[in-house]
Copies of this chain bind each other. A is one copy, B any other.
Amino acid sequence: MNKKKKNILELTEEFTDEEKKAFYKAIYSRRDVRSHFTSRIIKDDVIARILNAAHHAPSVGFSQPWNFILIKNITTKKKIKDSFEEEKNRSSKLVEEPKRSKYLSFKLEGILESPVNLCVTYDPSKFGPFVIGRSSIPEAGLYSVCCAIQNLWLAARTEGVGLGWVSILSNDILKEVLELPEHVVPIAYLCLGYVDEFAQKPDLETAGWLPRLDLKEVVYFEKWQDTKNVEWNQIQEMIKENLDYA
Residues of chain A touching chain B, judged by Cβ–Cβ distance below 8 Å, are: 3-4, 7-8, 10-12, 14-15, 18-20, 22-30, 32, 44-45, 47-49, 51-53, 55-58, 60-64, 66-73, 76, 87, 90-91, 94-95, 99, 103, 106, 108, 121, 127, 130, 132-137, 139-140, 142-143, 146-147, 149-151, 153-155, 157-160, 165-171, 177-181, 184, 187-188, 197-198, 200, 202, 204-205, 209-210, 212-213, 215, 218-225, 231-232, 234-235, 238-239, 243-246
Residues of B within 8 A of A45 (CB): 238
Work out how many copies of this chain go into the complex.
2
A220-B146 in contact given A134-B167, A158-B15, A245-B4 (Cβ < 8 Å) = no
Residue in B24, B210, B222 whose beta carbon sits within 8 Å of that of A61 in the complex: B210
Residues of B within 8 A of A135 (CB): 87, 90-91, 94, 168
Whether B127 pairs with A210 at a CB distance below 8 angstroms is: yes
**Please, which residue of chain B has its CB at the minimum distance from the CB of A87?**
B136
Whether B169 pairs with A137 at a CB distance below 8 angstroms is: yes
Residue in B4, B25, B56, B71 whose beta carbon sits within 8 Å of that of A15 in the complex: B25
**Please, which residue of chain B has its CB at the minimum distance from the CB of A197?**
B12
Taken together as a complex, chains A and B put the C-alpha atoms of A52 and B24 apart, in Å, by 10
Residue in B8, B12, B63 whose beta carbon sits within 8 Å of that of A210 in the complex: B63
A3-B91 in contact given A64-B218, A168-B133, A200-B8 (Cβ < 8 Å) = no
- Residue with the greatest number of chain B CB neighbours at <10 A, chosen from A76, A160, A234, A235: A235
Closest approach, in angstroms, between the C-beta of A89 and any C-beta of chain B? 11
Closest approach, in angstroms, between the C-beta of A132 and any C-beta of chain B? 6
Residues of B within 8 A of A48 (CB): 215, 235, 238-239, 243
